[in-house]
């Protein structure tokens, strides 16, 4: 009799013991995993692109994305320290080093725009008559015209340094000012100082209505600016939200998000051209305008 009763009570208890494991909802019990930490460059934030894209991603997946908008160099360091789940940046050489150091997995193309040199109405360096970006940079040095640099190890700063080097020019002296600031702040400073600066076109389009500066040089193929998204290494950092990172990577490179990127415009001008799929990239390559 005792054995039967004991067996009966045990059978009654089993469903109760099993219920928590079956009913538990990971998104509710582990809210950390419902959040994706994205380290990215200021251009994707300042341009308004992320504010435009991420609500659609959250609606479709339920993931909340916490954006850390800094220069590309710092974004990659944050990723390499395991303090982000995924990075979205624009400095190919630095991105390759990030992957080679096993801080991140493979680079995934997302989009591109280009860099432009903006400056004052007076155009003291005569950049509008330059035929190459090398000539433009040399003219700035030759005329000792004020130039405001990001000076923050961002993708834009890295590009700027490579342009001085390619031109055989030394960026140093009273005419050269390092701000250590994001692109929006640098554009503001350059406008106040009647100075030149290098900016990505996306941020420029978002800020030009309130800037006295104008584009003084553009169009050289050297100025193309590709963006990649990279998941932080799950092997190196086992506690990152790798599943969330891959969800964002797959979503932003899929057709719907790529269409959203192509449709993101200011004053009927496209800020970024999607590049996740070669056919789409070739179809849109001819111009950043549509």
Which carries the bigger pLDDT value, residue 168 or residue 33? Answer: 168
Other Cβ atoms within 10 Å of 64 Cβ, number: 13
pLDDT at position 75, please? 96
Burial class (CB within 10 angstroms; exposed 0-12, middle 13-18, buried 19+) of 252? buried
DSSP secondary structure of 28-85: HH-GGGGEEEEEEEHHHHHTSHHHHHHHHHHHHH--EEEEEEE-HHHHHHHHHTT--S
Q: Assign 231 to helix, strand or coil.
A: strand
pLDDT at position 277, please? 74
pLDDT at position 109, please? 96
pLDDT at position 33, please? 67
84: confidence class by pLDDT, cuts 50, 70, 90:
very high
6: confidence class by pLDDT, cuts 50, 70, 90:
very low
Considering only 15-24, 77-86, 119-128, which range has the smallest mean pLDDT?
15-24
Residue 272 to residue 234: CA distance in whole angstroms: 29
**What would you report as the CA-atom Rg of the chain, rounded to the nearest whole angstrom?**
24
Spell out the domain ranges in the chain: 31-113+226-284, 114-223
The three state secondary structure string of 77-105 is HHHHCCCCCEEEECCHHHHHHHHHCCCEC
Average pLDDT over residues 106-124: 96
Residue 39 has pLDDT above 90, yes or no: yes
pLDDT at position 249, please? 98
pLDDT at position 3, please? 45
* Burial 145-158, CB ≥16 within 10 A → b, else e: bbbbbbbbbbbbbb
CATH of domain 114-223: 3.40.190.10
pLDDT at position 46, please? 86
- When the pLDDT of each residue in the chain is averaged and rounded to a whole number, the result is 87
Number of H helices, E strands in the chain: 13, 12
Integer angstrom CA distances of residue 244 from 23, 139, 237: 22, 47, 14
pLDDT at position 278, please? 62
Residue 32 has pLDDT above 70, yes or no: no
27: confidence class by pLDDT, cuts 50, 70, 90:
very low
Residue 135 has pLDDT above 80, yes or no: yes
Q: pLDDT above 70 covers what percent of the chain?
A: 84
Considering only 25-29, 73-77, 220-224, 246-250, which range has the smallest mean pLDDT?
25-29
Q: Assign 222 to helix, strand or coil.
A: helix
Q: Assign 197 to helix, strand or coil.
A: strand
Residue 290 has pLDDT above 70, yes or no: no
Residue 1 has pLDDT above 50, yes or no: no
89: confidence class by pLDDT, cuts 50, 70, 90:
very high
Q: Does this chain's domain 31-113+226-284 share its CATH topology with 114-223?
A: yes
Half-sphere exposure of 145 (CA within 13 A, CB side): 23
Instruction: Extract the tokens encoding 112.
Output: 């591109």
Closest CA to 83 of 233, 210, 224: 233
> What is the fold of 31-113+226-284?
D-Maltodextrin-Binding Protein; domain 2 (3.40.190)
pLDDT at position 275, please? 95
Average pLDDT over residues 26-52: 80
Average pLDDT over residues 256-268: 94
Closest CA to 231 of 84, 92, 31, 61: 84
């Amino acid at each position: 009799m005792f054995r039967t009763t004991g067996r009966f009570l045990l059978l009654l208890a089993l469903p109760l013991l099993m219920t928590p494991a079956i009913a538990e909802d990971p998104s509710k019990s582990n809210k950390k995993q419902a959040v994706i930490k994205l380290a990215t460059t200021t251009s994707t934030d300042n341009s308004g692109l992320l504010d435009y894209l991420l609500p659609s991603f959250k609606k479709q997946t339920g993931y909340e994305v916490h954006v850390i908008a800094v220069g590309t160099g710092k974004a990659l360091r944050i990723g390499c320290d395991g303090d982000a789940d995924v990075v979205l940046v624009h400095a190919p050489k630095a991105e390759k080093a990030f992957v080679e150091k096993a801080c991140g997995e493979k680079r995934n193309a997302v989009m591109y725009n280009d860099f432009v040199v903006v400056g004052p109405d007076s155009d003291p360096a005569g950049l509008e008559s330059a035929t190459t970006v090398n000539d433009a940079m040399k003219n700035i040095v030759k005329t000792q015209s004020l130039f405001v640099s990001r000076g923050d190890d961002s993708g834009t700063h890295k590009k700027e340094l490579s342009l001085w080097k390619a031109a055989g020019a030394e960026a140093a002296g009273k005419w050269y000012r390092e701000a250590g600031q994001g692109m929006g702040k640098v554009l503001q400073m350059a406008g106040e100082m009647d100075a030149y600066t290098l900016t990505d076109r996306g941020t420029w389009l978002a800020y030009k209505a309130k800037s006295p500066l104008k584009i003084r040089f553009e169009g050289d193929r050297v100025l193309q600016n590709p963006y990649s998204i990279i998941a932080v290494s799950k092997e190196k950092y086992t506690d990152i939200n790798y599943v969330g990172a891959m969800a964002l990577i797959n979503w932003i490179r899929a057709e719907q998000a790529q269409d959203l990127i192509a449709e993101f415009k200011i004053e009927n001008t496209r800020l970024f051209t999607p590049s996740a799929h070669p056919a789409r990239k070739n179809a849109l390559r001819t111009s950043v305008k549509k």
